[in-house]
A and B are shown apart, each in its own frame.
Chain A
Amino acid sequence: MSSDSRPIYLNLIKIKLPISGIISIFHRLTGLLLFVAIPVSLYLLQLSITDLDSFNTVSALMLHPLSRFFVLLVIWSFVHHFITGMRFLLIDLEFFLHRNTSRTSAWAVVVIEAIVMLLVIKGMFL
């Protein structure tokens, strides 16, 4: 079969992706977001060690209501990428290879992630 006539059916709305597939897609999305955040992290690092004034600027920036959404988004991206990434490393070591363990571990990722994010939100807003 030539590569042009392969039956491709990739309607993401109609495909019922298992939870392991969903967290995998978000691993990519969050990875891309963290890639974009690299220069931002360098900028904030540079400001934070330049002098007291710029250190205070960074502190104020992190606490500003408008930037808090982005701070939370980047933290969530990092947390998700981190936890799903550890699951992928365990899969490389041949854990979670069967359908049941694959799904259980994927749900475990979601639960751990939710707990971590609740702690982050508690730390940021309460």
Chain B
Amino acid sequence: MSLVALEGLRPWVLQRLTAVYLVVYAVYVVAYWLIFADLGFDSWRSWVATELNQILLGLFYLAVLIHAWVGVRDILLDYVKPLLLKLMLLFAVAVFLIGSGFWLLKILMMVNT
């Protein structure tokens, strides 16, 4: 396999690995919502605040951000031809995703206080 081919393999693998985690986590959360259909503020907040759920939620958004990066990157590489525009859009997407990651960190810190 050439180096160029290997370069495409890593995002491909990341896309699939994160997808599997997203499926598992989505089933977990949707099942929780369905079982506790009428959940109120206190039970919801304390559920989110458990250590396990904070870790799983952090992993969820990490997976979402990686998955979204590979997906949107693929779309931009497919449809945006001018190089400068393509680079600028890729940069904007990266800033958007990293910013979202920091926002989640802030939320996780908030739920701990």
Q: Does B20 contact A (CB under 8 A)?
A: yes
Chain B contact-residue range equals 20 to 34
Closest to A28 in B: B75
CB distance from A13 to the nearest CB of B (A): 18
Interface string of B17-50 (1 = CB under 8 A from A): 0011001001000000000000011001100110
CB distance from A119 to the nearest CB of B (A): 10
Complex alpha-carbon distance, A35 and B65, angstroms: 9
Q: Are the CB atoms of B44 and A49 closer together than 8 Å?
A: yes
Q: Are the CB atoms of B44 and A85 closer together than 8 Å?
A: no
Given A31-B71, A38-B100, A39-B100, check contact A49 B107 (CB 8 Å): yes
Q: Are the CB atoms of A50 and B110 closer together than 8 Å?
A: yes
Complex alpha-carbon distance, A31 and B107, angstroms: 24
Chain A contact-residue range equals 20 to 34
List of B residues within 8 angstroms of A86 by Cβ: 23
CB distance from A11 to the nearest CB of B (A): 16
Complex alpha-carbon distance, A2 and B107, angstroms: 52
Q: Are the CB atoms of B72 and A32 closer together than 8 Å?
A: yes
List of A residues within 8 angstroms of B16 by Cβ: 89, 92
Given A49-B44, A55-B44, A92-B16, check contact A39 B111 (CB 8 Å): no
Interfacial residues, chain B to chain A (CB-CB below 8 A): 16, 19-20, 23, 26, 40-41, 44-45, 48-49, 64-65, 68, 71-72, 75, 96-97, 100, 103-104, 106-107, 110-111
A-B contact pairs, 8 of them (CB 8 A): A35-B72, A38-B96, A38-B100, A42-B107, A45-B107, A46-B106, A49-B48, A86-B23
